[in-house]
Amino acid sequence: MHGHKPVCPEGKAMGAIPYACRNDPAGCKCKKQVVHYTPTNSDFIKVGHGAFVKPIDHPDEERVSNVKYVITSQVVAYDRDTDEFETLNTLYKPMK
């Protein structure tokens, strides 16, 4: 936040490499799922807090309706230019 865009190694766009892997991409083998959300004026996305968004295609349909707003796990990276953000568990991309 604060106007800083996440820096991804090798010039890749946000979401290509999970936040936890950016400091040591060579030694990282983790991959995060991508979930799309509908951007609205009611969204709340702030690094260090859970985001308040409406997902479209979250795979855990038992706990996430994909119709109502959810509070995500803690946001670890947020690109205000693209509205893409990353939580501890997932990469979120807006469907515009």
Percentages helix, strand, coil for the chain (3-state, rounded to 5) are 10, 35, 55
In this structure, is residue 13 part of a structural domain? no
Residue pLDDT tens, the chain, 96 long = 334 344 333 334 444 455 556 555 555 556 788 999 999 999 999 999 999 999 999 988 888 889 899 999 999 999 999 999 999 889 999 997
pLDDT of residue 89: 84
Task: Tell whether pTM > 0.85.
Answer: no
Residue 65's domain comprises: 32-94
SS3 state of residue 51: strand
In this structure, is residue 55 part of a structural domain? yes
Residue 47 amino acid letter: V
In this structure, is residue 68 part of a structural domain? yes
Number of domain units in the chain = 1
Residue 80 in contact with residue 92, Cβ under 8 Å? no
pLDDT of residue 47: 94
